[in-house]
Structures are given as C-alpha cells and as structure tokens.
C-alpha cells in the first residue's frame, strides 16, 4: 500500500506496466474479473464463451442435486439495475458431470464449481465435481441468521475435497461480519460477497402485472443499484476475518474493480453486465481496471487493495470544497442541486459562496469535469 499515488493524484503517468494477475486461495487468475454463477455460465459452451470474452476465472452456475424449475418470465432490466427470479441450474447434475464441466474445463482457465445447498447435497456433489474443479463455491442464498446450515455445508465440502472452498454470502437478514466469522470458524478458505438482494418488485405499466413470474412475482436485485450495498458488505467482511474476499454486485466497469479492491476484495465477479452487454465485457472491465491503475502510477491491483480499510472516516470536514474555475464547464449541475443555494453559475463559470456552504459534498460528486474537490489540506474533524 505504500507505493503508488493517491486516487486523485494529478495527471496520468505514461507507459506504466500493469500486471493484472491476482492470487486467491492459492489460485492464480490472469486478471481479477471472474464470472459469477448465473445465466452467462449456464452450460459448458456459455462458460467457454466467457473465457473467450476475457474472464480471468470461471465460476459455473450453481449445481444442486435436482435441476431447477425456473419460472418465466425471470429476468428484467430496470432503472439502474436488474431483477431476476432465476434459481440454480436448470440442468441436472448428471449432465454437468458428463458434458458441461468437461467442456468448461477445456478452457484452460481456473474453474470454480458452484454448489448448493444443504450439507447432504454438498456431500454428494463435491466429490463428483472434484475432477473438474480448481475450487468450490457454496451458495448460501437461502440461509438466514442461523449459521448452522452454512457451517454444515462448509464442513461437508471440506471433508469431501482437497481444494479451496469459498462461501458466497447473501445480505438477506444477516449480519455480514458475523456470517463471515461463522464461515471462517467452519473452515471456509475464502468468501464471496454478495449475492443478489431481495425480494424486490417491478411492474409492467402496460399490464399492471409483475415483471417476474412465479410465486408472488418478486425478483432479486442485481446490477449497478446493488453496488453500494456490495461495497459495504465486502468492507465489513474484509475487516472482520483474515480470508480472501471476492467482491460481487454491480461490477460493470474498471473503476468498480478498483473500488472493490479498496474495500478489501482480491478479485471480483460479474454477472448482470455480461447479460446486458455480452461476454466480451469481462475483458473490457479488466482492461479498464488496468488503465486506471497505470494512470495512477500503480503496477498491481494489490497496491490499492484494502486502502479504504485503513482510511479514517471523517466526522466533519472543516472547510468548503475547492473550485478550480479553469476546469468548470458551466454545466450548472452543482447550482441546480445545491439545497443551500451556495453555488451559482455566472458568465459560464461556477461561483462558490463559502459562507452559505454547509460542506455536504454533493456538488463534488455531481461535478463531471472534476472542478470541485476537497482540499488535500482540509482538516478532518472527528465525529
């Protein structure tokens, strides 16, 4: 963490070589952007396409003892996010063992096989998928506060195989830090945070019906709307247990990878972006992450990993934002949303009234050209 420059450290440095490879649980991935269990990895051919699209690692869709009966419709794009009522794999385990996993293995990319859900399921499945798997991922999507079923599943996996066992944590009704501790106590080798969130709902305005089929018409939220929750969960988990964490939830561009790393993630998983933008998105996200690292003087993702874990959280910032008039393009986004009436655009440039400013920070987050920022010299007062 000592080398490199801060995220706001001026102009890009040219020609900085970046090594995007990462190591998680003893496995080396060519880049930190992995698939997540879901529709883009529904079978062997789809998994191969993700590898061709640049995924640094492959996670297959969750396999259970019985194929899922998935309701329809089961996927919908919504504003800033995505809803699904997908379940585990609709293919039986026998088909995975005979065709899909051997095909996926031929990609030559580390393969993590996702399994669900009970200890009995895991005990039956884990030794059978072992010939194809570099690691296992256990889905805990339907497990609440009681850690017993999750811990039993972890122990069943650890008893059955000699490869790393990662546990995918769901944010549903759980204290994430305690869930991480319980997973570590049971022997988990790594954690994935988080699964989709819900139940949620979306309505078709033309019919008045839910956009999701099955049950109550509820779905599970993913995509960009999920990222703030995912970041918080990765942050909570990473500062609680000494296990590698893979961040999942709303990753759709290179800077999302950087944010996940800063809160402690060693790698990320991507699902929704691959559904909406195609399987080439894995390589694109990885390239964008590399470009950001190079522009900021870093050579590896590990150099920014955990940066937010050691940063003080300000109670108050003493002093208003700094305005770089030369960068201001006069767009007036800051003026329109300043509830304190502290910014006005005059003659095509913003003017800041420091006496009216309450240091809320909204204008900084809305300023597209980066003309508003906190001063590096501003005092940070305790909460």
Say if CB 34 and CB 59 are below 8 A apart. yes
Q: Give the Å distances, CA to CA, from 149 to 141, 181, 189, 227.
A: 11, 14, 17, 27
User: What's the pLDDT at 215?
Assistant: 85
Query: Residue 140: its pLDDT value, please?
Result: 82
HSE (CB half, 13 Å, CA atoms) of 61? 25
What does the domain layout of the chain look like in residue ranges?
22-310, 316-381
Measure Cα distances from 120 to 116, 159, 209 in Å: 10, 12, 38
Q: Give pTM, 2 decimals.
A: 0.92
Q: What pLDDT, on the 0 to 100 scale, is given for residue 236?
A: 96
Instruction: Identify the pLDDT of residue 39.
Output: 97
Cα–Cα distance, 88 to 269 (Å, whole number): 17
So what's the pLDDT on residue 117?
A: 92
Low-confidence ranges of the chain (pLDDT < 70): 1-15, 141-144, 312-315, 377-383
At 146 the pLDDT is 85
Query: 355: how many CB neighbours lie within 10 A of its CB?
Result: 7
Of 76, 15, 31, 38, the C-alpha closest to 221 is: 76
- The CATH architecture of the domain made up of 22-310 is Alpha-Beta Barrel (3.20)
pLDDT of residue 319: 80
pLDDT at residue 67 in the model: 96
Angle between helical axes of 281-295 and 254-262 (0-180°, round to 10): 60
> What pLDDT is attached to residue 3?
40
Per-residue pLDDT at 143: 65
**pLDDT of 349:** 96
Q: Per CATH, the architecture of 316-381 is what?
A: 2-Layer Sandwich (3.30)
């Amino acid at each position: 963490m000592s080398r490199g420059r801060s995220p706001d450290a001026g102009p890009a440095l040219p020609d900085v070589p970046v090594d995007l490879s990462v190591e998680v649980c003893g496995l080396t991935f060519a880049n930190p952007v992995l698939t997540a269990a879901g529709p883009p990895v529904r079978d062997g051919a789809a998994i191969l396409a993700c590898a061709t699209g640049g995924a640094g690692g492959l996670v297959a869709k969750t396999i259970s003892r019985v194929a899922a009966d998935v309701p329809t419709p089961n996927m919908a794009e919504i504003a800033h996010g995505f809803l699904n009522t997908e379940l585990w794999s609709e293919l039986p385990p026998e088909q995975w063992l005979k065709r899909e996993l051997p095909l996926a293995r031929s990609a030559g990319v580390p393969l993590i096989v996702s399994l669900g859900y009970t200890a009995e399921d895991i005990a039956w499945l884990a030794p059978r998928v072992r010939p194809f798997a570099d690691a296992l991922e256990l889905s805990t999507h339907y497990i609440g506060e009681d850690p017993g079923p999750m811990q039993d599943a972890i122990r069943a996996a650890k008893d059955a195989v000699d490869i790393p066992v990662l546990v995918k944590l769901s944010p549903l009704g759980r204290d994430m830090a305690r869930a991480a501790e319980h997973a570590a106590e049971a022997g988990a080798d790594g954690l994935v945070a988080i699964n989709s969130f819900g139940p949620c709902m979306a309505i078709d305005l033309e019919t008045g019906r839910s956009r999701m089929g099955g049950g109550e018409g509820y779905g599970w939220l993913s995509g960009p709307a999920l990222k703030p929750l995912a970041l918080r969960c990765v942050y909570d988990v990473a500062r609680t247990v000494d296990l590698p964490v893979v961040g999942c939830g709303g990753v759709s561009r290179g800077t999302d990878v950087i944010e996940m790393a800063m809160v402690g993630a060693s790698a990320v998983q991507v699902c929704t972006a691959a559904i909406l933008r195609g399987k080439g998105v894995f390589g694109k996200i990885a390239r964008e992450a590399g470009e950001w690292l190079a522009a900021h003087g870093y050579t590896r993702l590990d150099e920014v990993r955990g940066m937010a874990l050691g940063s003080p959280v300000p109670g108050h910032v003493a002093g208003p934002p700094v305005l770089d008039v030369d960068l201001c393009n006069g767009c007036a986004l800051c003026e329109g949303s300043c509830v304190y009436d502290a910014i006005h655009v005059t003659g095509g440039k913003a003017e800041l009234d420091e006496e009216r400013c309450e240091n809320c920070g909204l204008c900084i987050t809305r300023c597209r050209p980066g003309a508003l920022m906190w001063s590096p010299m501003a005092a940070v007062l305790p909460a």
